[in-house]
Amino acid sequence: MIIITETIINRQIGYQILNDETNENTLISYTSHNVNLDGQTYLIMYNKDMEIIPDAFNFLNFHLSDKSYNTRHKSALALKLLHSYEEIFGKMLQELDKNELRNLKLFIKGMSISGRELRLESDTIRSNATTNSYLGIYRQYLSYLGEENAWLSEKTSNSFYYNTPGEPSYSMESYKANEKTGKSGELKRYISVEEFKRIIKTIRSNYTLREELIVRLMYESGLRIGEVLGLTFEDLTVIEEKENIIPVGFIRNRYTDKPFQLAKTCLSINNKEQYKQREYITKGLGFQTFVVPSDLFDSIDIYINNSHNIAKEKYEANYNFDNRADSVTEEFDDEANYYIFINSYGRPLSQASWNKILRDILQKSNISVDKGSRKNNLNHRFRHGFAMFNVKYLKCSELELMNRMRHSSIDSITSYFNPTLQDQLQIKTEYVDSLYKEFEELHLGGNWY
């Protein structure tokens, strides 16, 4: 019997391989470390002899150079697991057959691998969703190496999602090797219209215009908190369309952005030369847009005029050094562009500071807050609320909602069409009330009581 035991080696996950017949004991260890050089963060992977793995280094730092650090870090975790599996079983990813690929998935999950005289003892259990994301990284890695595994790359036949009549069908495809993830039972928590009214009332009684603007951008325009905190002067403008003046906002990343100011679905910026690339000025890749309600647009202008003038007077050094943002349009220059939302010292408002404020606002508004839980991100409740308002009140279809939420896949918005238990109760009650209105004789009564 061969026993594979997950263990900690050099403060990272490794494996101990014990052959109980020969008593041979082997350690398998792949580690990754960050190295900062000239303002860039490089991810370096080593084997157990602390030798750099060149292919992994080039893939993580050059092939994925336009991706965020979090994406590259996740890729490093996946590759460490892959290299461990390849060394344990003596076979490269591109050589795995269908059954061996199944074993790789079990290895990723931390589950026992059947059909062999071995036992896997793992403390780390990974979900099907994580397994699928790792498989996606492996496909990218093989493509980068100029290799392929037919079983890993095999796709299902195209299926089509048909929406309401008159709308185009939406093509979906998936990989046969991917695990089923299922659908969540109930929609994540969201801010209802009544809750939003209470929040605005709380803010206007206890806080400032800044707090109202932030929650309104998330609730009325569907922005993520990082997208809000990363907004600069030049990101808000007006455009003319069919003789109408429409306030719009641009979501994009800059070299000057802090990690809490990043837009997760836009091109990551590692150097300023990327501003000149076609990808950066391509909608849906380098930037995204959103419509800003006119009164909200005007209120942001009032906030900028008041708060920024005070910051420039009281904390000029902080404001000009810490709050300055790169300008990426011809209309602005570097001397004029600044991040919109600032703290009381003239620096960009951080997400950590904002999270404390938001938690206090919700508690004052009698809205439940989960302590120590990340399952219901407080900021994201507003974005969920934006989605549900579009579904419940504006009767938005799946494809329309996908576009308004700026998602690339329709799978990511299906939960908004899965009502909560409270919503189901409301729908059922409204249905029964309307039924009784049409057929009064259906009311229970008579000799039953």
Q: Is the pLDDT of residue 118 over 60?
A: yes
Residue 432's pLDDT is: 67
Flag whether pLDDT at 294 surpasses 60: yes
69-117, pLDDT tens digit by residue?
Answer: 888 999 999 999 999 999 988 899 999 999 889 989 989 998 876 555 7
Dig out the tokens for 54 from the structure: 């060149």
Q: What is the pLDDT of residues 428-440, one digit of tens each?
A: 676 667 666 766 6
Residue 48 or 201, more confident: 201
Instruction: Tell me the pLDDT of the chain averaged across its residues.
Output: 85
Dist CA 437 CA 404 (whole Å): 37
Lowest mean pLDDT among 223-232, 279-288, 373-382: 373-382
CA distances from 444 to 164, 425, 427, 440 (A): 37, 19, 20, 10
Specify which of 75-79, 106-110, 151-155, 180-184 reaches the highest per-range mean pLDDT. Answer: 75-79
Domain boundaries, the chain: 2-153, 193-417, 420-449
Q: Is 278 exposed, middle or buried (0-12, 13-18, 19+ CB in 10 A)?
A: exposed
pLDDT at 333 over 50: yes
Q: Which amino acid is present at 47?
A: N
Higher pLDDT, 391 or 441: 391
Across the range 367-381, mean pLDDT stands at 72
Residue 375 has pLDDT above 70, yes or no: no
Which positions ≥6 away from 20 have C-beta within 8 Å? Answer: 1, 2, 3
Sort strands 2-9 and 118-121 into parallel, antiparallel or unpaired: parallel
CB 132 within 8 A of CB 178: yes
Give 292 or 20, the one with higher predicted confidence: 292
- Sheet hosting strand 24-29, strand order edge to edge: 24-29, 12-19, 2-9, 118-121
Do residues 73 and 42 make contact, with C-beta atoms less than 8 angstroms apart? no
* Mean predicted confidence (pLDDT) in 45-70: 90
Q: What are the b/e assignments for 3-38, b being 16+ CB within 10 Å?
A: ebeeeeeeeebbbbbbeeeeeeeeebbbbbeeeeee
Q: Which CATH number fits domain 193-417: 3.40.140.10, 3.50.30.50, 2.40.30.10, 1.10.443.10?
A: 1.10.443.10
pLDDT band at 157 (very low <50, low <70, confident <90, very high): low
Q: Which amino acid is at 22?
A: T
17 pLDDT exceeds 90?
no
